[in-house]
């Protein structure tokens, strides 16, 4: 360790307390990404307990020229929250700043520290009879700061929008170590540039989010979940249209799962019994949130499914009998990422395409893939209601997954992303860019947009202190 680094460690210890600045022992929880694709080496992990401590950490790092990688729950999927292997980056963990600060029921808002775990926030809202609708499979460990920094999506975007749409205000520590307090909780505020929206989705490259004021909604009177088998992706899109016209804003979730994705769940999680997937190409999970009653919800959903059967849109369907059955159906959907891990690493794509063009995109791209890699398998599932697919490419059966990834990733990415471009889509719908897709962004983003992003980065973080080399090239 250089003498300067040793001085920085001493300063960080003075700010956070020696017990909360880690530089020795097993730091893998902070240094390796969730998918275990990359393991870096941090100079130290600093765990401040307050916004003032965050500001002091940023000032100290700036003085010593030490880059900062901000980290929440470390569940991100694009290697954005872990250090590189230089041993010079400080991981700034918000884990200790996990409190719910205030809940204003009349204003329908809640203010939390950035390290608050998503599930704890959902629970705090529920205890007051209210709903915080952001929901994703990592909710037991991801944090609100991470959700906002990545503009996370999840399973209820269709009705409530993504993290950006749920945020009214932020508190941020900027690259100069100053605190910007923008936590008013106003639904209207047209006083110049929207700085909040600049930090949301910036993946830790512009500042450290230390707290947020978020929107709450009424808890629905009832939720009802249906599982339908459809013969084709065209019919899944047709079912979405029918459900939107019949259920309106009551339709809060609409997920699609390809047959192979469901087979992986059935194979690796035998206790989760996957309904109706053997004979149909896709299954759909639809959720209705009803303001009236469970009875009304069931009726609306059953009528929708009868109509869909009559019109030959679906092969078959079931409606969950109770909340526990509904949970089981959602477990199947949520188990797909884990079933992929069991099957072996695959090449992931988190893409969005205009919903109307998704069926054509999938058949076109699937055919191209099959032609270039014989026997390749597609784990295709996602948030169809948002036009967002997790379009993952798995090695042919029996082949070594790691070898497949090493030898085929560039080729598969080029093929898939070219196709995404041709269909007017985006190469990252909800997971972000991180370190993983910097090259791809440089290649696929509009050059004028990239220039403006560079100019914003330069203006707000001229020293390149925050997450250097993530999202944009250094
Ligand atoms: P981290 O992983 O710690 O960080 C993510 C990025 O945000 C990094 O660039 C980091 O530097 C930055 N960051 C973190 N905290 C702050 C802060 N306070 N201030 C500034 N920058 C910060 N994502 C979805 O969008 N939809 C899904 O449905 C979804 N499902 C998932 C399912 C599983 C099983 C897993 C493992 C992940 C899933 N994700 C999903 C991805 C991930 O959970 C989200 O990106 C989440 O929002 C990250 O939160 P985090 O606290 O773990 O952030
Ligand atoms: Zn997703």
Q: What is the pLDDT tens value at each position of the chain, 474 positions in all?
A: 899 999 999 999 999 999 999 999 999 999 999 988 899 999 999 999 999 999 999 999 999 999 999 999 999 999 999 999 999 999 999 999 999 999 999 999 999 999 999 999 999 999 999 999 999 989 999 999 999 999 999 999 999 999 999 999 999 999 999 999 999 899 999 999 999 999 999 999 999 999 999 999 999 999 999 999 999 999 999 999 999 999 999 999 999 999 999 999 999 999 998 999 889 999 999 999 999 999 999 999 999 999 999 999 999 999 999 999 999 999 999 999 999 989 988 999 999 999 999 999 999 999 999 999 999 999 999 999 999 999 999 999 889 999 999 999 999 999 999 999 999 999 999 999 999 999 999 999 999 999 999 999 999 999 999 999 999 998
Cβ of 72 closer than 6 Å to ligand 1, yes or no, is yes
Within a domain: 462: no
CA of 73 to the centre of ligand 1 (A): 7
**Does residue 380 contact residue 258 with C-beta atoms inside 8 Å?**
yes
Cβ of 201 closer than 6 Å to ligand 1, yes or no, is no
Mutate to test the pocket of ligand 1, among 32, 138, 253 (most ligand atoms within 8 A of CB): 138
Nearest partner of 42 among 95, 93, 84, judged by Cα: 84
- Specify whether 323 is located in the same domain as 247: yes
- Specify whether 256 is located in the same domain as 362: yes
Q: Whose CA is nearest to atom 25 of ligand 1?
A: 152
Instruction: List the structure tokens of 305.
Output: 């499914």
Cα distance between residue 195 and residue 203, in whole Å: 14
Q: Whose CA is nearest to atom 21 of ligand 1?
A: 204
| Last residue within a domain, chosen from 188, 218, 248 | 218
Within a domain: 435: no
pTM of the predicted model, to two decimals? 0.95
- Specify whether 282 is located in the same domain as 363: yes
| Last residue within a domain, chosen from 154, 188, 218 | 218
| Last residue within a domain, chosen from 218, 244, 265 | 218
Q: Report helix, strand or coil for 173.
A: strand
Buried b (16+ CB within 10 A) or exposed e, 45-58: bbbbbebebbbbbb
**Does residue 109 contact residue 214 with C-beta atoms inside 8 Å?**
yes
Within a domain: 324: yes
CA of 88 to the centre of ligand 1 (A): 23
CA of 474 to the centre of ligand 2 (A): 28
- Specify whether 300 is located in the same domain as 412: yes
Cβ of 94 closer than 6 Å to ligand 1, yes or no, is yes
Mutate to test the pocket of ligand 1, among 84, 142, 167, 198 (most ligand atoms within 8 A of CB): 142
Within a domain: 456: no
Q: Which ligand is nearest to the CA of 79?
A: 1
- Specify whether 370 is located in the same domain as 279: yes
Atom of ligand 1 nearest to the CA of 136: 28
Cβ of 150 closer than 6 Å to ligand 1, yes or no, is yes
Res 277: pLDDT: 83
Q: Which ligand is nearest to the CA of 71?
A: 1
Nearest partner of 311 among 252, 246, 389, 387, judged by Cα: 246
Q: Whose CA is nearest to atom 46 of ligand 1?
A: 147
Cα distance between residue 323 and residue 67, in whole Å: 47
CA of 375 to the centre of ligand 1 (A): 33
**Does residue 329 contact residue 320 with C-beta atoms inside 8 Å?**
yes
- Specify whether 152 is located in the same domain as 165: yes
Number of domains present in the structure of the chain: 3
Cα distance between residue 244 and residue 356, in whole Å: 14
Cβ of 328 closer than 6 Å to ligand 1, yes or no, is no
Who contacts 89 (Cβ-Cβ below 8 Å, separation ≥6)? 40, 42, 43, 66, 67, 68, 69, 83
CA of 189 to the centre of ligand 2 (A): 31
Res 462: pLDDT: 97
Cβ of 147 closer than 6 Å to ligand 1, yes or no, is yes
Atom of ligand 1 nearest to the CA of 70: 11
- Specify whether 8 is located in the same domain as 38: yes
Within a domain: 430: no
Within a domain: 443: no
Res 66: pLDDT: 98
Cβ of 153 closer than 6 Å to ligand 1, yes or no, is yes
- Specify whether 141 is located in the same domain as 196: yes
Cβ of 203 closer than 6 Å to ligand 1, yes or no, is yes
Q: Whose CA is nearest to atom 26 of ligand 1?
A: 154
CATH classification at residue 119: 3.30.465.10
- Specify whether 347 is located in the same domain as 412: yes
Q: Across the strands, what pairs with 182?
A: 170
- Specify whether 75 is located in the same domain as 139: no
- Specify whether 284 is located in the same domain as 201: no
Cα distance between residue 70 and residue 149, in whole Å: 10
Domain assignment of residue 248, given as a range = 222-422
Cβ of 70 closer than 6 Å to ligand 1, yes or no, is yes
CATH classification at residue 49: 3.30.43.10
Within a domain: 471: no
CATH classification at residue 358: 3.30.70.2190
Within a domain: 428: no
Atom of ligand 1 nearest to the CA of 144: 51
- Specify whether 161 is located in the same domain as 207: yes
Backbone angles phi, psi at 456, to 5 degrees: -65, -45
Instruction: List the structure tokens of 221.
Output: 């009177």
Cα distance between residue 466 and residue 451, in whole Å: 18
C-alpha angle 40/45/49, rounded to 5°?
150
Q: Whose CA is nearest to atom 10 of ligand 1?
A: 81
């Amino acid at each position: 360790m250089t003498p300067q680094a040793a001085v920085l460690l001493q300063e960080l210890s003075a700010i956070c307390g020696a017990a909360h600045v880690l530089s020795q022992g097993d730091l893998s929880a902070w240094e390796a990404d969730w998918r275990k694709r990359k393991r870096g080496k941090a100079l130290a992990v600093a765990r401040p307990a307050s916004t003032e401590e965050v500001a002091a950490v940023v000032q100290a790092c700036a003085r010593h020229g030490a880059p900062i990688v901000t980290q929440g729950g470390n569940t991100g999927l694009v290697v954005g929250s872990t250090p590189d292997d230089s041993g010079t980056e400080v991981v700034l963990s918000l884990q200790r700043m996990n409190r719910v600060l205030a809940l204003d029921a009349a204003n329908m808002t809640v203010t939390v520290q950035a390290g608050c775990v998503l599930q704890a926030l959902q629970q705090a809202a529920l205890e007051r009879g209210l709903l915080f609708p952001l929901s994703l499979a990592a909710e037991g460990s991801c944090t609100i700061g991470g959700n906002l920094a990545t503009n996370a999506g999840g399973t209820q975007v269709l009705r409530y929008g993504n993290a950006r749409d749920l945020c009214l205000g932020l508190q941020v520590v900027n690259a100069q170590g100053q605190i910007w307090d923008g936590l008013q909780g106003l639904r209207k505020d047209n006083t110049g540039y929207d700085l909040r929206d600049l930090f949301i989705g910036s993946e830790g490259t512009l500042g450290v989010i230390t707290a947020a004021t978020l929107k709450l909604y009424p808890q629905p009177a009832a939720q009802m979940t249906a599982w339908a088998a459809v013969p084709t992706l065209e019919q899944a899109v047709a079912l979405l249209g029918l459900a939107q016209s019949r259920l309106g804003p009551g339709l809060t979730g609409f997920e699609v799962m390809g047959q192979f994705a469901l087979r992986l769940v059935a194979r690796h999680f035998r206790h989760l019994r996957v309904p109706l997937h053997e004979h149909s190409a896709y299954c759909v999970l639809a959720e209705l949130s009803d303001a009236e009653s469970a009875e009304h919800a069931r009726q609306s959903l059953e009528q929708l499914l009868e109509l869909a059967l009559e019109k030959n849109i679906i092969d078959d369907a079931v409606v969950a009998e109770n909340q526990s059955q509904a949970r089981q159906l959602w477990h199947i959907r949520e188990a797909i990422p884990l079933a992929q891990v069991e099957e072996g690493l695959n090449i992931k794509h988190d893409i969005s395409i205009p919903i109307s063009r998704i069926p054509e995109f999938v058949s076109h791209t699937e055919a191209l893939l099959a032609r270039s890699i014989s026997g390749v398998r597609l784990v295709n599932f996602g948030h169809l209601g948002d036009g967002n697919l997790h379009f993952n490419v798995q090695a042919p059966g029996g082949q070594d997954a790691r070898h497949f990834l090493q030898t085929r990733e560039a080729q598969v990415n080029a093929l898939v992303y070219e196709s995404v471009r041709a269909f007017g889509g985006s190469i990252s719908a909800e997971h972000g860019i991180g370190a993983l897709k910097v090259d791809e962004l440089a290649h696929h983003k509009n050059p004028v947009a990239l220039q403006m992003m560079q100019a914003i980065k330069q203006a707000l973080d001229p020293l390149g202190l925050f997450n250097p080399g993530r999202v944009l090239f250094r």
